Amino acid sequence: KPMRLWGGRFEGGPADALTRLSVSVQFDWRLAPYDLLASRAHARVLHRAGLLSEDELTRMIGALEDLEEACRSGSFRPTVADEDVHTALERGLLERLGSLGGKLRAGRSRNDQVATDLRLYLRDHVRHIVSRLVELETALMSQAEEHAATAAPGMTHLQHAQPVSFGHQLLAHVHPISRDIDRLRDWDRRAAVSPLGAGALAGSSLPLDPQAVAEELGFSAAASNSMDAVADRDFAAEFLFCAAMIGIHLSRLGEEIVLWASQEFNWIEMDDAYSTGSSIMPQKKNPDVAELARGKSGRLIGNLMSLLTVLKGLPLTYNRDLQEDKEPIFDTVDTLLLVLPAMSGLVATMRVNTARLESSAPDGFALATDLAELLVRKGVAFRDAHEAVGHLVVWCQVNDTTFERLTEDDLAKISPHFAAATGEGTSPLDVLNVQGALASRKAHGGTAPDRVHDQLAVLREIVDGQ
């Protein structure tokens, strides 16, 4: 016979179709440890309210602990007949305590219970997610440290733009992750509000103590409005946004790694442990980790959209629609905990092809801006300098040559500005080297290797605090 918490006023059983639609235990069972935690806190509050004797409290806590162990070991399992996690656990409690088990439900509804469980679950899992994010930051930072002075082609529009330190580029992926962690920490402040005590929607006539329960469960406060307490899923939607943003950051990093690992770029080689082969082409080494990170961002964004759509237009307070909050949340948590360690491993073990990066850094006339800025330092208006260097690029293309092979005579032919900039021991050609170009970008936030090291030191402090 199906276990239900609401049989009293019904004649006959529910239709199979209803039961199949309604049941959530197959996915909400993972809330069991949090439900049991909240139940212990609730039992203590009932005891303080004089609704459970000392002896009853002891037996209640004992049974809840026993049930928790039984859930952990798998000796207690939900059955298809249990509507949801709360129902299954009440069955477990009744099996252990008989009618005493029925006292725990006083002053409590599944509406405040499930909202509490979900907050507890998420706050706990966000801590794990943050740890995995810190690991990814650490992996990026140690590669960045090694390659602070490695020149690489810096790109805009996926076209060679200006040389950059490859470490600088790697750190450009650390900052977004650091902001993600910041966002999650900030999220936690708002999520740390306990709905327990709100009951179904109106609070309880029993002398409960929501603030004491909140404190016992590690929340910073109890909800100030019982109706909001059971209706609010902002914390869930906000978490899904933070996760979608992480997904987008992982996807952008993943996309770059896919490019870097291609024959055309050849910037990195992935470790065998983090790459995959082809079932038909024996030579293949594929960046599946990065591609899955990129692909799975789709479901992270989808999960956010899915919950927002459920919430839109819902009247207060609890509506059964809210049961649809869980699967997107669980899927997002699982996805992040799956993708992050793989991405960290991929980044930590990739070998950077330093020679290739450095030799291609000046490609595509990437030092053109340096030449124009040299003329600016000699007093030429940037507009004219830009024009002169533009002509030089065309000249090089027409004559099938590169900046590296230019002579001072070539320059003089292009523009008198170049001739004017050539003098005793100084030549415009001097700025046409990649390391000089990097070192000269030495203002705060620039790509000079010294600044990259400063940036690393600041990030280390931030990451240590995360």
**Number of shown-chain residues binding ligand ARG (CB under 6 A):** 10
- Please give the backbone phi and psi of residue 73, each rounded to the nearest 5 degrees, phi first: -80, -15
Q: Token pair for residue 284?
A: 């293949």
CB nearer to ligand ARG: pick between 114 and 223: 114
Considering the rule CB under 6 A, would residue 35 count as an interface residue with ligand ARG? no
CB nearer to ligand ARG: pick between 113 and 143: 113
Q: Least separation, in Å, of the C-beta of 111 and ligand ARG?
A: 5
Q: Least separation, in Å, of the C-beta of 84 and ligand ARG?
A: 4
Distance separating alpha carbons of residues 181 and 317, to the nearest angstrom: 31
Considering the rule CB under 6 A, would residue 114 count as an interface residue with ligand ARG? yes
Q: Which residues contact 97 (CB under 8 A, 6 or more apart)?
A: 59, 60, 63
Question: Which part of the chain contacts ligand ARG (CB under 6 A), choosing from 108-116, 131-139, 156-164, 374-382?
Answer: 108-116
Sequence-ordered strand ranges (E) for 80-219: 151-156, 159-165, 193-194
Question: How many alpha carbons fall within 13 Å on the CB side of residue 291?
Answer: 11
Neighbour tally for 365: CB within 10 Å: 18
Nearest to 353 by CA among 107, 152, 162, 130: 152
Q: Which of 35, 68, 82, 84 binds ligand ARG (CB under 6 A)?
A: 84
Considering the rule CB under 6 A, would residue 24 count as an interface residue with ligand ARG? yes
CB nearer to ligand ARG: pick between 255 and 327: 327
Q: Which of 262, 278, 359, 391 is catalytic?
A: 278
CB nearer to ligand ARG: pick between 31 and 350: 31
Task: Judge whether 340 and 129 are in contact, CB under 8 Å.
Answer: yes
Q: Which of 59, 108, 110, 417 binds ligand ARG (CB under 6 A)?
A: 110
Distance separating alpha carbons of residues 68 and 187, to the nearest angstrom: 29
Nearest to 319 by CA among 387, 232, 386: 232
CB nearer to ligand ARG: pick between 231 and 380: 231
User: Residue holding tokens 């964004």?
Assistant: 301
Told to judge if 157 belongs to the known catalytic residues of this protein, a careful annotator would answer yes
CB nearer to ligand ARG: pick between 166 and 318: 318
Q: Interface residues for ligand ARG in 121-160 (CB under 6 A)?
A: none
Q: Least separation, in Å, of the C-beta of 320 and ligand ARG?
A: 6
CB nearer to ligand ARG: pick between 217 and 230: 230
Distance separating alpha carbons of residues 181 and 302, to the nearest angstrom: 21
Nearest to 148 by CA among 460, 438, 462: 438
Q: Which residues contact 286 (CB under 8 A, 6 or more apart)?
A: 275, 276, 277, 278
Question: Which part of the chain contacts ligand ARG (CB under 6 A), choosing from 170-178, 314-322, 377-385, 407-415?
Answer: 314-322
Angle at alpha carbon of residue 203, lines to 198 and 208, rounded to 5°: 90
- Please give the backbone phi and psi of residue 385, each rounded to the nearest 5 degrees, phi first: -60, -45
Q: Interface residues for ligand ARG in 57-76 (CB under 6 A)?
A: none
Q: Is 274 helix (H, G, I), strand (E, B) or coil?
A: helix
CB nearer to ligand ARG: pick between 88 and 431: 88
Q: Token pair for residue 197?
A: 């005590």
Q: Least separation, in Å, of the C-beta of 91 and ligand ARG?
A: 15
Told to judge if 47 belongs to the known catalytic residues of this protein, a careful annotator would answer no
DSSP state of 275: -
Q: Interface residues for ligand ARG in 169-198 (CB under 6 A)?
A: none
Q: Token pair for residue 235?
A: 């914390």
CA 342 to mean position of chain CA atoms: 13
CB nearer to ligand ARG: pick between 42 and 110: 110
Site mask for ligand ARG (CB under 6 A), range 316-355, x = bound: --x-x-xx--------------------------------
Task: Judge whether 33 and 333 are in contact, CB under 8 Å.
Answer: no
Q: Which of 75, 99, 157, 444 is catalytic?
A: 157
Q: Is 368 helix (H, G, I), strand (E, B) or coil?
A: helix
Q: Token pair for residue 157?
A: 């529009």
Could you give the dihedral angle defined by the CA atoms of residues 139, 175, 219 and 235, in that order, rounded to the nearest 10 degrees?
A: -110
Please give the residue ranges that form the binding site for ligand ARG (CB under 6 A).
24, 28, 84, 110-111, 114, 318, 320, 322-323
Catalytic residues: 157, 278
